[in-house]
Amino acid sequence: MSDFTIAIHGGAGTILRSDMTADLEKAYTDALEQALIAGYALLEKGISSVDAVKAAVTSLEDCILFNAGRGSVFAADGSQEMDASIMDGETLMAGAVSAVRNIKNPVELAYAVMTKSQHVMLNGQGAYDFALSQAIKTEKDDYFFSSFRYDQWKQLQGTDEAALDHNVSVKDMPAGQADKKFGTVGAVALDKNGNIAAATSTGGMTNKKWGRVGDSPIIGAGTYANNRTCAISCTGHGEPFIRAVTAYDVSCLMEYKGLSLHEAMHIVVHDKLLKIDGEGGMIGVDAKGNVAMIFNSEGMYRGMKCSDGRNEVSIYK
């Protein structure tokens, strides 16, 4: 069992070896390793799990391969709107932002909401104004641009289709299932003081309309942390994850039914979510140093680095 540990994800979905080139696989693996090291280095120094998950998610947001921060998907109006959240399992403090534009690292803004405001969730222009008041870094539109996300959006533009996807072509997919890859990023960690935390960040769905917000910034759905139970970050089709109150349900199964982290995550991912077509997965830690990464899709970009020496990065089932 580990004294301190971090786990991360970079999205789940129909991630198949046959869709991948060796170079792309290496780029993903390197990015995941870099994010793990960014968080783990802080934990090793005795810094808090909240800072560690923020550092890991920031690293993934900065990588253009993932649908969060730089490289986020395009909404129906051609904008890139992002959602993020963070929660501290020691204090049950939480911060979240939804539908924000031009924020370099939405997880940093969620952290500022948690630590510098009296609120839990800020949205859109108001969140942007708050960001400016806190000197949170902003970037112009072209910083967030990536041609593969743009091409994905161009294939859906003008349709009613919204796609949850990672970064492959959607053009050959049947209508209604324009790809099944979820590129959200997230991290969970346990620090040397026995405190746990979780954070999640996403660009949401390609071609999303009407201010659509998924599970990622919703405390209890995409993100939850409580020292008494677990820290969870989810990725997948946001709507079922919201309806299943997914992350909090894992915590409830542990708190009220006495299940282990692994048992609780397994029931939620492979039973409760599947019953409502909730494709995706989650990562979790508890205060005892258990860690799990469970998904019901073909793959999930994921990794963990633990003080007991476990160190893995994987993509496929």
Binding site for ligand ASP (CB under 6 A): 11, 67, 164, 182-184, 202, 204-205, 214-216, 222, 235-236, 238
- DSSP notation for 93-148: EEEEEEEE-SBS-HHHHHHHHHHHSS-SEEEHHHHHHHHHHTT--B--HHHH--HH
Pick the closer one to ligand ASP by CB: 5 or 167. 167
CA separation for the pair 301, 12 (Å, rounded): 6
Q: Which of 14, 184, 202, 229 is catalytic?
A: 184
**Can you tell me which residue has the tokens 């949850």?**
164
Q: Would residue 246 show up in a list of annotated catalytic residues for this protein?
A: no
CA separation for the pair 101, 195 (Å, rounded): 32
Which whole-number Å values give the CA distances from 188 to 50, 132, 273, in the listed order? 9, 28, 20
CA separation for the pair 55, 189 (Å, rounded): 11
Pick the closer one to ligand ASP by CB: 111 or 301. 301
**Can you tell me which residue has the tokens 């009220």?**
256
C-alpha R_g of the chain: 17
CA torsion sign for 57, 234, 304, 296 is: negative
Asked if residues 113 and 120 have their Cβ atoms less than 8 Å apart, the reply is yes
Q: CB count, 10 Å around CB of 172? A: 8
Pick the closer one to ligand ASP by CB: 95 or 278. 278
Pick the closer one to ligand ASP by CB: 167 or 216. 216
Pick the closer one to ligand ASP by CB: 90 or 179. 179
CA separation for the pair 193, 188 (Å, rounded): 15
CA separation for the pair 254, 266 (Å, rounded): 12
Positions marked catalytic: 184
